Amino acid sequence: MEEKIMYVSMKEMLWHAHTHRYAVMAINCVNMEQAKAIIESAEEEHSPVIINISPRQLKAHGYGYIMVPMIQALAKRASVPIAFNLDHGANFEDITQALQWDFSSVMIDASSYEFEENIRRTSMIASLAHGMGKSCEAELGHVGLAANADGQNVDYFTNVAQAQEFVERTHCDCLAVAIGTAHGAYPKGMIPQLDFERLKQLKEALNMPLVLHGGSGAGEENIRKAVACGINKINVCTDLMKHAKEALIKTLADEPDIEYMELNMAVEEAMKDFIKDYMRMIGSSQQYIFEQHDGPELD
């Protein structure tokens, strides 16, 4: 049987999610424990998954020349599709370097520029990525920071008519939309209010995979509704990092003499529990169960 390559771009993965109306997790990852937790969770849930890393994370800790071969090695053994995406690529240097390292996808975030400049930058990166067989995510409107209450600033929300023109002119493969979420932790007790009406209009007008950034702390009801209204990729960073840190603190408190390796393994297990629950919530679980058989194709 022909070997299936499971290190893929986000394009087919997200069109499958768009067609079958579910969402794929895109999880920020900076080390081997996280990469293993993400890919093992995806395998156990028969779910596709996207691994994200930002330029800041790449420069500070999870260097590209380490992360790419490691994720490719893990993906090669996987039975579900795995994409590795540069999260929030802001300049050409970071993006071309990620493409050279063989990321399977890149995001160009020119959302702080005015419309025409966002189009100019995004279309350039989209054609570069496509020429190398990789996918390109873009952002229109602006998903800012929870700490600045940016999610409540309607001036940042994605305009539907502009989005249609943006996608036609840039040929991006998926679009991150601003509908009320923001990056990072929200103030204690706050659950953001999302503009689902706008999201439905965007889905209807664009008929393509849509992305929600700032998935952490958005609340289960909002996340479920966002998927039902057309979100196909949900970025999660803060919640997983927090969950991992809490597991680390609890394990050390419960077992102060635990060995370092065992500690890492305990944190990895805790991350898997979080990720698998999330995959079930957003409907990506069991999407690849039928890809597992070894027998001949029946049709």
Which residues pair with residue 211 across a beta bridge?
Answer: 176, 233
Distance CA 141, CA 177 (A): 6
Active site members: 87
Nearer to ligand 13P, 122 or 235 (CB): 235
Contact 47, 86 (CB under 8 A): no
- Sign of the four-CA dihedral 173, 178, 181, 185: positive
Which positions lie near ligand 13P, rule CB under 6 A? Answer: 28, 87-88, 183-184, 213-216, 235-239
Distance in Å, CB of 37 to ligand 13P, minimum: 16
Question: Letter for the amino acid at 90?
Answer: A
| CB 225 within 8 Å of CB 205 | no
Q: Report which DSSP code applies to 90.
A: -
Query: Nearer Cβ to ligand 13P, position 139 or 268?
Result: 139
CA distance 173 to 136: 5
Closer CB to ligand 13P, 110 or 288, in the complex = 110
In this structure, what DSSP letter does residue 104 have?
S
